[in-house]
Structure 1
C-alpha cells in the first residue's frame, strides 16, 4: 500500500464538493452556491485506519473540455500522475446533469468512486435510486451515498478509497455506436505507435476525435484518414443516450413530488419583482447589521474604555514617558481598539451573507441581474464576483477568472471595487451614526446601492465605446434551496472574522503607530500642537483639492491617505487625529462631531465623505491582486487614477448639489 493516497475531489458546481472537502479536512475554505469561487487547487489531509490520504479540492466543472479556467485547472490536476483516486461528487437529486462528467472521468483510466451527495433531498422528493443496479451500469465502481451537510457516509467513502485504489480502474463503461468505436480503435493504434508511453490512451483518442486543442498540440498525429471533422457533438449525444438508459433503470418516482425550489423561484426570480426583492433582502441584512450589531457593540465599547483606562493608569504608575503613554493609549489602543468595536457589525454582516449563500439564493441574484448586466455588455456571471465584493474585494477580483474573455475580465475587475467591502462598513457605521441619527441605516445602505449603480453605469459607458462587443448568454446552475449548514457557515464566518482580527493586529496596528508618529512629530522632534506635525503639513497639500467636495480639512486628507493601507484605517485615523480613545463610543462620536462642527462640517459633508470612501482607490492588497490578475501595471495605475478622479467628481457633485438644494 502506498504511504499516501492522493485523492482528487471532482464534480459539478454546487454539488457539495467543497463542503464535503471541509467535512474531512476542517479547512477554512469559502463554500458558495455559484460556479467560479474555487478557482485554484486546495489541499487537505485526513487519515483512515492508518492510511494517510491527501485530498485535493478542484474547481467545479461540467465537463473535461477545456473552455473555462476552472475546467483547465481541474483537468490539469486529475491528469497528473500523482492523482491515485478520483472521487466524483454527484448531486443525487440532479443525476442526469452530473453523470456526463462521470462518463468522462471513467474514460481517464483511473480509479473513480461515485459519491452520491444530497441524498436527503432525494428522500424529501420521494425519489428512489437503485443502489445495486447503478454501480453495475457504471462499470462496477463503488457508489457511496453521502451527505456533506449532515456528515453521513464519510467513513464509508474513505473505506472505498483505500480498497478501490488497490483494485484499480473499471473497464470501459460507455460503448459507442459501432462506427464511432471503430474510429476510436483506429486513433488508439496511431497513438500507440507514435506515443507508446500514454497510459489513458482511450481518453486521448476520444479527445482527438473531438478536436481538443490541448491534446492535438501535445500529441501531433496525421489523423486525416480517420478524423475528417470534429465528432464532439456525436460523442456528447451518445454519452447522453447512455445516461438516459442509466436514469431509466436506476431512478424511480422522479416526478412524484414537485420541487419546492420551482415554486420559490417563481417569486424570487420574477422578471419584475426579482431585483426589488434582492434589494429588500439586502436592506434586511443591514437592518440586522446595524440594530443587532450596535446593541452588541456597546459591550465592546465598555471593555475597550476600561482596558484603555487600566493601561493608562499602569503606565502612569510606573512613571512611563509621556510619549510612550501617548503612543500606546492614544495611538495603538485608540486606533486598533476603535476598529475592534465594529466586530459585532462585521460578524452579523458575514453571518447573513453566509446564510444567503449556503441556502442557494445568491446564484439567483446573478440570474435576476442578467438582463441588466447584459445591457451593460456583461453576462450575469460577471455579477458573481461583484457579489463577492460585499465581503472582500481581493477574492472578488480573483473570481473574475470564471469569465472567458479577457476584455470582460478587465471590465469586471474595474467595476468590482465599487461594491462596498466589509472594510468600508466601519466608515459607514461611524459617520451614519454620528450625523444621520434615526436615518443611519438608510444612509449606510444607500452606499451599497450607489456602489452597484455606479458599477453598472461605468460598465454601460465602457460598452457604449467598446469596439469588439460580444453578446453573452448566462449559463449558470441554480442549486436547490436548502437549509443552511451550521458548520459550513461557521467555517466561513470564522475565516472572515479571523481575517478582520488579523488585519487589526497587523496592518491597522502598524498604521496606527505611523499615524501617531506623523501627528506628534515634525522635523524638530515631538510637538505639542498637532497642527505643527508632519501629518498636518501633508494634509494641507490636499485641502484645496478636497475643498470642493466639502472635505477641505487636513485631518480628512491624512485619514483618506491612511485608508489606502486598509479602509478600516480611516476610522482608526479619526480616533487618533481627534485624540479620541474610542471613536465608536457615544462620547467619542460626540467629541468628533463637536470638533468637526467648528469647521462647518455637517451631514452633507459626511455623506460626501462616505461617497468618496466608497469609490476611491481600493486597499493595497486589492491593488496587488489586480496587478497579479491582469499582469499589467499600466492597467492597474490607470484604474487607480480613474477611481480617484471618479471619487472626487462624485463627492464634489454630492456636496455642491446638496449645498445648492439647501440654499433654495
Structure 2
C-alpha cells in the first residue's frame, strides 16, 4: 500500500472542510461563513490500495502571508511539499478564487483544480467548459460537489495516478513586470514574483524602490483570469440571487441591527419555551426516579450512609444538576447552527462594522466574538484571521466576555427561579452586555496600551442557503457530546471533591456549616458583599467555576441538595432564601464577566505566547466583573429604595 500526502487548499468558505469530512469520515464543523478552519486538520483515507494522508489547510485568498492562518498554509506547502495539492474553487465564483490557483501554478506545485458546488451552476444559469479550463490553466480540472458526493471518485482517481499536465503553463505579465523579474537575480520565478509582491525580502543588492510592483502584479493577475474566463464560462440565462433581495431588508442600515436583536431574542425565547418542557422531565428523573432508586437499592444492600450520600447528593446531585439543562443547551445550538448554516450569522459582522468603526475597530472583530457564543477556545483561535498583530491581541483579550455555552446552564437556573416568564429577556440582556463590555474594553485598549493603525473590514458574505440536516446534526451533536463528556469527567470529579469538602473537616465527618467547603466559602464571601451575594455558598461555587463554568450549577445543586433540597423546585426555594432578584442578576453579571475556565486560560497563553498577557487577562476580567456586578446591585438597590 502506497502513502500519498494530499493538501486541501482554497479560499475561505470554498467547501474544503466538507470535502475533508467526505474523504476521511471526520465530522469537523462546516460553517456557511469564512474562517471556520484556522489550523490545519489531518485525516486518512484508503482508496484502491492507496493510503491518502489528507491535510485540510486554513482558508486563504492568496499565498501572501498577511495573517497567521495564511502563513500556516503557505509554510506547509513550501516546507512539507505534499505530493498533490487539491485546490477547491466554488464553480459560481471562479474569478476571485482562481487568483490563488494562479499562485499555486506559478510555484509549480502539483495542483489538481477541484471545481466545487457544480450543483449550483444550473440554478445560477451558468455553464463551464471544464476541458477548456483545463487547457487554459495547464492543470487537471475535476468538477465535483463535495456536499452531494458528486465527482469524488473521479477526483481520487486523479490523486492516486497524478502526473503533471503535459503542457506546463507559464503566465506572462506586462513588459515592466517581466523586466523587473529578470533583474531580480536567478531565483526561481515564483520567488521573484513574491519579491515583487513584498511577500519575500528583496535582496539588498537590488534597489527595492524599482521593484515594489505589488499592485501591478495583482491587477495583471486578475486580467489574466478575466481573459481566461471569457473563453470557459458562459451565462445561459439571467439570474438574480435571492440573497440580494433578502439582504435589502436584513442588512438595511436602519432595520438590520433591530432585526438581529429580535432574531436573537426569539432564539432565547424558543430555547426556554421548548427546553423547559424537557428540563422538568429530566429533573423528575434525576431527583426522584434515579436518586430514589439508588437510595432504595443501597438500603437493601445495607450500604454505608456516607457512600449513599456521595452517590445520591454528590454524584447524582452534581452531574444530574448539570445534565438537567441539556435540553436548553441542545435547543440553543440547534437555532445557532441554523443561523450559521443559513448564512445569516456571517452577516452580523457586516451589521456591526459601522458601529465598531466608531470605536476604532472593524466588523471582522465580531466574527471571533460570535464564535465565542459557542466556546471561547475555538473563538480565540479564530483570531488568527486578523492580519494586524495588535488587532489580534485585542480580539483575544476581549473574547472571554462573550457568553459561551458553558455559562448558559447558570443563566437557565437563576433566570427560571427569579425571572419566570421573562427568562429570555434576562439571558438576551446578558449576551448584549457581554458584547457591550467587549467592545468598550477593545476601544480602551486601542486608545491606550495597544494603539495601532485603523483597520478596515474586507468580508466575504456568502449566499443564503437552506441549512443541511447533516451539518445541523453534526454541529449540535458535537456541542452535546462536549457537554456530556465534561459532565462525565470534569464535573463528575468536581462533584466528588466538593461532596468531600462539604462533609468533612480536620476532625472528620461534620455538619455542612462546619465543613472545609464552608470554611473556604466564608473566607472569600465578604469580597462579594458589595455585589449582594456575600454568602459562602455562592463564593464557593464561583471559585470552583474557574475549572468549568458548568460546575457553578453542579456545585449549587450539591450545596443546597445536602440540606432539604432535592428537585429543581426545592433548589429554587433554597436559592430564593439566599438571593433577591437583584442580587441574582448581579451574580449572573459576575458569572458572565469573571475569569474564564482553565481551557480558555490555556489557549490565551498559547495564542499570545506570553505569560504576561495571560495573567493580565485574568486580572482585568476579574476587576471588571467585580466592578460591574457591584454597580448593578448598588445602583439597583438605590433605585429600588
Tell me which residue corresponds to 1:67: 66
2:111 is aligned to 112
Note closer, same or farther for the CA distance 1:128–1:236 as it changes in structure 2 (3 Å cut): same
1:303 corresponds to: 285
Unaligned runs of 5+ in 1: 192-200
Cα distance in 1 between the residues matched to 2:372 and 2:575? 31
Partner residue of 2:587? 609
Distance of 1:495 and 1:455 partners within structure 2: 27
- Cα distance between partner residues in 2 of 1:495 and 1:384: 20
Q: Is the 8 A contact 2:140 2:165 kept in 1?
A: no
Tell me what 1:356 maps to.
339
Pairing 1:128-147 to 2, within 5 Å after superposition: 128-139=127-138, 141-147=139-145
User: What is the aligned partner in structure 2 of residue 47 from structure 1?
Assistant: 46
Task: Determine if contact 2:417/2:576 at 8 Å carries over to the other structure.
Answer: no
**Structure 1 residues 144, 168: CA separation in 2 closer, same or farther (over 3 Å shift)?**
closer
Match of 1:590 in 2: 569
Change beyond 3 A, Cα 1:477–1:619: same
Aligned to 1:277: 259
2: CA distance, partners of 1:369 / 1:656: 31
Query: Structure 1 residue 336: deviation in Å?
Result: 0.7
Residue of structure 1 aligned with 2:163, choices 160, 163, 166: 166
- For 1:283 and 1:580, the matched residues in 2 are separated by 36
Once the two structures are superposed, the pairs formed by residues 547-626 of structure 1 within 5 Å of their partners are 547-579=529-561, 588-599=567-578, 601-626=579-604
In structure 2, distance between residues paired with 1:543 and 1:54: 54
Aligned partner of residue 235 in structure 1, secondary structure: helix
CA contact (8 A) 2:180 2:211 kept: no
Alignment partners' CA distance in 2, 1:495 and 1:598: 37
Match of 2:150 in 1: 152
Q: Secondary structure of the residue that 1:34 maps to in structure 2?
A: coil
Would the aligned equivalents of 1:111 and 1:170 in 2 still touch at CA under 8 Å?
Answer: no
In structure 1, the residue matched to 2:126 is 127
Q: In 1, distance between residues paired with 2:443 and 2:221?
A: 41
Distance in 2 separating the partners of 1:86 and 1:127: 26
* Partner Cα distance (1:409, 1:169) in 2: 44
Tell me which of 186, 195, 210 is aligned to 1:208: 195
Alpha-carbon spacing, 1:597–1:492, altered in 2? closer, same or farther (3 Å) = closer
1:266-323 residue CA offsets vs partner (Å, 9 max, x unmatched)? 1111112111111111112112211122222233233323222222222222211111
Once structures 1 and 2 are overlaid, which stretch shifts more, 547-556 or 465-474? 465-474
CA–CA separation in structure 2 for the residues paired with 1:318 and 1:370: 65
Deviates more, 1:386-395 or 1:300-309: 300-309
Once the two structures are superposed, the pairs formed by residues 17-56 of structure 1 within 5 Å of their partners are 17-56=16-55
SS state of the match for residue 567, structure 2? helix
Distance 1:255 1:616 in 2: 56
Equivalent residues in 2 for 1:253-402, closer than 5 Å: 253=235, 256-304=238-286, 305-402=288-385
Q: Matches of 2:42 and 2:495 in 1, distance apart?
A: 36
Whole-Å separation in 1 of the counterparts to 2:562 and 2:337: 34
- Asked if the contact 2:528–2:534 (Cα under 8 Å) also holds between the matched residues in 1, the reply is yes
Sort the Cα spacing of 1:408 and 1:181 in 2 relative to 1 into closer, same or farther, 3 A. closer
Distance (Å, rounded) in 1 between the aligned partners of 2:563 and 2:400: 31
Partner SS, residue 213 of structure 1:
coil
Does the 8 A contact of 1:19 with 1:488 survive in 2?
no
- 3-state DSSP class of the match of 1:10? strand
| Offset of residue 461 of structure 1 | 3.0
Write the distance in 1 (CA, Å) between the matches of 2:447 and 2:215.
36
Distance 2:582 2:518 in 1: 24
Q: Does the Cα contact within 8 Å between 1:575 and 1:581 map onto a contact in 2?
A: no
| CA distance, structure 1, for counterparts of residue 563 and residue 91 of structure 2 | 56
Instruction: State the alpha-carbon separation in 2 of the partners of residues 257 and 283 from structure 1.
Output: 34
Matched, 1:542 2:524: yes
State the match for 1:641 in structure 2: 619
1:196: which partner in 2? none
Unaligned runs of 5+ in 2: none
Q: CA RMSD in A?
A: 2.2
- Does residue 421 of the first structure (1) align with residue 390 of the second (2)? no
Normalising by structure 2, report the TM-score: 0.95
Name the counterpart of 1:488: 471
8 Å Cα contact 2:318/2:558 also seen in 1: yes
Instruction: Single out whichever of 568-577 and 303-312 deviates more from structure 2.
Output: 303-312
Q: Deviations over 1:71-97 (max 9, x none)?
A: 111111112344011111001111111
Specify whether residues 457 and 228 from structure 1 end up closer, same or farther in structure 2 by C-alpha distance, changes over 3 A only. Answer: closer
1:132 is paired with a residue whose SS is: helix
Q: 1:334·1:581 contact (CA, 8 Å) conserved in 2? A: no
Structure 1 residue 559: deviation in Å? 0.7
User: Is the CA contact (8 Å cut-off) linking 2:8 and 2:56 kept in structure 1?
Assistant: yes
Say how many residue pairs are matched: 640
